[in-house]
Chains A and B, each alone.
Chain A
Amino acid sequence: MKGAAEVRSGRAARRAGWFPAVLVLALAAALTFLTLPIVAIFVDSSPAQLLDALGEQGALDALWLSLRTTAASMAIILVVGTPAAYLLATRSFRGKAAVVTLVELPLVLPPAVAGIALLAAVGPSGILGGAVEAAGIELTLATAGVVVALTFVASPFYVRQAVAAFASVDRTLLDASRTLGASEARSFLRVMIPSAMPGLAAGAALALGRALGEFGATLMFAGSFQGITQTVPLAIYDRFSTEFDSALALSAVLVAVSAAILLSVKLVQGSEALGGAPS
């Protein structure tokens, strides 16, 4: 009897040892697969080579263009997306679920489809093409077109997160602000935005990352012209067969920027968590 019990507990111990090992192996495999390519970017070229490649005019143009277009589209996303998300989070109305779905649709749209869709809507022969042209705005093959493509693709990432952030703020804070003499607009600025800030920042970081990396929709809708519509991802694609070093250097910059975005989000959320600890 005693022997059987020992065998059983021995088996149990073996079982307990076997499953965690699988978990660790799975994580190790995932980590290697996900980080190896990123590490390779930096290993494959020396820092000096990277700096040289970045000094080239085309690469500088692409970086500067990416910076400007991303900043412009982020400004549009924040200014329009924040109140829109607040409305979706604080009001209930007929067809709200449908509105939310429509706003989130670009999340799952293949980038190439997004490009075609933008062409069909505001391209030269699109349904609003005439109106856009009449207003004197040039979108296709123009920098403004890049901003349109980035905004279209990236904004749902922000709006979705912002709706969740506003919805999780205690509604009595808004009630308190109103009864203390602040209009809803003032309460929105002074209470709701600060209270939802960690979620809003996370959403903005996701949208920023998506906008920086945008490729397909920009290529289809705005084209790839150096200094006008050729953002960093397009520049990487343009030169990977001919100037691999330059493509590698630009990639390294994108990796660094993406890592910085991720880190800053973690810091914002971390400091919020620290602040939340009772003292």
Chain B
Amino acid sequence: MLRVEARTHLGGLALDVSLEVRAGECLALAGPSGAGKTSVLRVASGLLRPERGRVECGKETWLDTEAGIDVPPERRRCGYVFQEYALFPHLTALQNVAYPLRGVSRSERRRSAQELLERFGLGPLADARPRTLSGGERQRVAVARVLARRPDVLLLDEPLSALDARTRAGAARELEAVLRGVEAPALLVTHDFAEAAQLGDRVGVIDAGRVMQEGTPTELAAAPRSAFVADFTGGVVLTGDARGGPNGLTHVELDGGGAVASTDRGEGRVAVSVYPWEITIEPEDEAPHGSAQNRLRAEVMSVTIVGNRVRLGLAAPQPLAAEITRASAEALDLRPGARVTATWKAAATRLVTI
């Protein structure tokens, strides 16, 4: 269990956060740059001392400004993966991973570091310097180095943003496996909600130094408490199995029932994403009209007013969110419990193979 509470001023930012991460869980903080995400990690690791705050890890208190406790970073067992990985340029990959291993013999250090490198498929690169490694390899060395510390807490700062789009998908899957494999609570920050939704068990949306809302990715997308969260959470994500369909479209059988079509190509397991503002709401029994191919029956679970729009949380076989104007919502008399049909175009349906 990691608990972080911090109130402090940083330049123009007033940071005021309070969060908890359970053992084995990953909390992803997502927000725009300048929201104070990295500062939360720095407070947790002891690199930044807030004006007021508490940091607890398991039974240990790492920071308590009231009681005057401030354990230095080297005595907090934090596995901190930095945004650009911060590998030591003068050391080889092996020496980087061996760096946190102390109190054991030289050969024991070498062996443990080599084992970790092998686990990340980096065995042959043990003697390479960081500058000769690719972005993906650097990221894996950084994660291996952090695991060598046997951390009580994992802190990850934009772990995928230094990677190019092609490397990112693979690296994300690897990181997911690592996060599943460690017992330590993990706190991850990213500017990308999709990344947060993929890697985090729970997601906290942070803006201007405050956590605006916390929940599962679907909860946030379906019932955002503010316009900011609504904008930030972006698309709805459904999962299913894809195969080629008629007219060059891809047919996706959704998990839990229902099917949709997409103009994207895909085969096998896919994530289907659609933006809530692409979804149109019709009364349940209305006959199909217009060009929208995708139609799912749903029940309205929540109605959230977001500025001049309304975000609807919908219970379909998989949760959905739709965003419509307030005028339309009133015309349709939408309220929780109402039964509707959600429709959208195959061209607004994006597929990602998972």
Contacts and interface: CB of A to CB of B under 8 A. Distances in A.
The answer on A and B forming one complex is: yes
Interface residues of B, number: 29
Contacts of A278: 131-132
A221 to B, nearest CB: 40
Contacts of A172: 82-84, 86
10 contacts: A173-B86, A173-B88, A175-B86, A176-B87, A179-B74, A179-B78, A181-B149, A182-B74, A194-B88, A279-B132
A249 to B, nearest CB: 42
A179 B132 contact: no
Contacts of B149: 180-181
Contact of A195 (B77, B79, B84, B90): B90
Given A179-B80, A197-B90, 15 more contacts: A176-B80, A176-B86, A176-B87, A177-B99, A178-B46, A178-B73, A178-B74, A179-B46, A180-B99, A180-B146, A181-B102, A181-B149, A194-B90, A276-B131, A279-B132
Q: Bin chain A's interface residue count.
A: 20 to 34
A191 interface: yes
B100 A181 contact: yes
B148 to A, nearest CB: 8
B132 A175 contact: no
A277 to B, nearest CB: 9
Contacts, number: 64
Interface in B60-79: 72-79
B145 A180 contact: yes
A17 interface: no
A271 to B, nearest CB: 12
Contacts of A190: 99
B88 A191 contact: yes
A161 to B, nearest CB: 19
The list of the 7 closest CB pairs from A to B, nearest first, reads: A176-B86, A178-B73, A180-B100, A179-B80, A194-B90, A172-B86, A279-B132
B354 interface: no
Interface in A193-216: 194-195, 197
A195 B102 CA distance: 21
B89 interface: yes
A183 interface: yes
A3 to B, nearest CB: 57
A170 B80 CA distance: 16
